[in-house]
Structure 1
Amino acid sequence: MTTVPSASQWGSPTASRRAFLIHGLNSSSHTFHRVASALAAKGYLVVAPNLLGHALRKPGVDFQVQTLADDLLPYLQAAEYDIVIGHSLGAHVVLSLLKYLPKTKPTSVVLIDPSVEITAEQMVDFRAKLSNNIRSNPTAEDYMALNPLWTREDAIWRVLGTQIGRPTNSDDHIDGNVPWSFSHLFADKPAAAALTVLIEDLRFNGALKLEIASKLKDIRAVIVPNASHWMQYEFPEVIVEEALRNIEE
């Protein structure tokens, strides 16, 4: 009997359409609560697993993104999904799963603000930002003050995602994926799959990500105005719209 990792689920088990949502670093399946609820309302069974080393799951033998992806393979072996969405680190996990998607069945793939290429110099700042966030131990009120588009529920799930994870999660995953380079995985996209990359507002770090995405072939890159890295909290309707666009056009 195939066993599957822990997951959250929305919608009816008898739904004819399925969506698979993968969260990011220092987060949990419930980061997608708004996106998942919207898809469930449109008739989808939504499954969002918890990655290794997150949400009280113990880490695997290493912290490579491919290891996180391989851990989720039982889901893809048990069912086919119409929609696959990944946020941040979860987007890199999705890229690592592209080679396992159906070759002929249309699949809508949406990557939410991935940093697919980070140089060693950029990683110094990235690592410091993540470490500072954990050390400062922000409350739900802190997150809401900094992010006016977030609901209290969004902020609480963000706090829980950080606090129930391992304190060394960020450093472990950074050190386990050197160099931080995932652009080559776009080549594994099956011809039947449509892939969209959603990018945060250009005023933030979006310009750099757009520059990289624009070089990729057969990829739809969409800048989401006023969105930060956490657009699943701020603009879940955009994520749902883009996911449905790929399979309803």
Structure 2
Amino acid sequence: MTTVSSASQWGSPTASRKALFIHGLNSSSHTFHRVASALAAKGYLVVAPNLLGHALRKPGVDFQVQTLADDLLPYFQAAEYDIVIGHSMGALVVLSLLKYLPKTKPTSVVLIDSSMELTAEQIVDGRDMFSSDVRTNPTAEDYMALNPLWTREDAIWRVLGTHIGRPTNSDDHLDGNVPWSFSHLIADKPAAAALTILVADPSKLECVAKFKDVRTVIIANASHWIQYEFPELIVEEALRNIEVQDNRQ
């Protein structure tokens, strides 16, 4: 029997189309609540697992992104997905899972504001950025004041994601993936999969310029949390890939 880890779910279990969402560092499955609700309203079953070491889950044997990906293999054994979306470190997990996507079934893959390549200096800066919320313990009101496009629900899920994860997640995962280099995994994408990368910071796209079959989109006026600020654009890009693939068949 195939077993799967803890997850959130939106939509009908009998939906004919399915989507898999993978959250990022110091977050949880509920970070996708607006995107998932929108896709569920369009007839999708959306499943969002909680990664090892997050949402009260114990960590695995190590903190490598590939270990996080391997833990999610039961989801690929249980179903095939029309859409796969990952945010931040979750996008790197998606990259590590590309080799397991069906070779002929079209899949829409969307990566949200992920840093695929980091220098040693950037890892140090990233450690400070990711762990700042753990140290300062901001409230929902703090997040809403800093992020005017966030709803109160967005802010509450952000607070919860931080509190139910391990306090050392940032350091453990950054240190456990040196050298931080993942863009080469794009080469594992099956020809049937359409890949779109959404970023707030254009510099994150420099490492993917050599991949000609990747669609890249810069989201103006967005922060790292595009799924809170512009969820409709994520849905639009995911469905755009589906439409393009359907037209090719």
User: Normalised by the size of structure 2, how large is the TM-score?
Assistant: 0.96
CA distance in 2, matches of 1:96, 1:168: 23
Does the CA-based 8 Å contact 1:56-1:165 persist in structure 2? yes
Q: Note the alpha carbon deviations across 1:3-56, whole angstroms, 9 max, x for none.
A: 100000000011000000000000000000000000000000000000000000
CA distance in 1, matches of 2:211, 2:181: 14
CA distance in 2, matches of 1:74, 1:184: 24
Structure-2 residue corresponding to 1:114: 114
Structure-1 residue corresponding to 2:78: 78
Q: Note the alpha carbon deviations across 1:74-96, whole angstroms, 9 max, x for none.
A: 00111100000000000000000
* 3-state DSSP of counterpart to 1:18: strand
Does the CA-based 8 Å contact 2:2-2:77 persist in structure 1? no
CA distance in 1, matches of 2:27, 2:52: 11
Does residue 212 of structure 2 align to residue 217 of structure 1?
A: yes
Does the CA-based 8 Å contact 2:116-2:182 persist in structure 1? yes
User: Which has the larger displacement, 85-94 or 119-128?
Assistant: 119-128
CA distance in 2, matches of 1:28, 1:169: 12
RMSD: 0.8
**How many residues are matched?**
244
Structure 1 stretches of 4+ with a deviation exceeding 4 A read none
Uncovered stretches (5+) of structure 2, i.e. residues with no partner: 245-249
Identical amino acids, percent of aligned pairs: 84
Does residue 217 of structure 2 align to residue 227 of structure 1?
A: no
Q: Note the alpha carbon deviations across 1:101-145, whole angstroms, 9 max, x for none.
A: 000000000000110000001111111122222101111111001
Does the CA-based 8 Å contact 1:64-1:177 persist in structure 2? yes
User: Which has the larger displacement, 141-150 or 124-133?
Assistant: 124-133
CA distance in 2, matches of 1:24, 1:216: 24
Q: Could you tell me which amino acid in structure 1 is paired with residue 224 of structure 2?
A: H
Structure-2 residue corresponding to 1:137: 137
CA distance in 2, matches of 1:132, 1:79: 37
Structure-1 residue corresponding to 2:231: 236
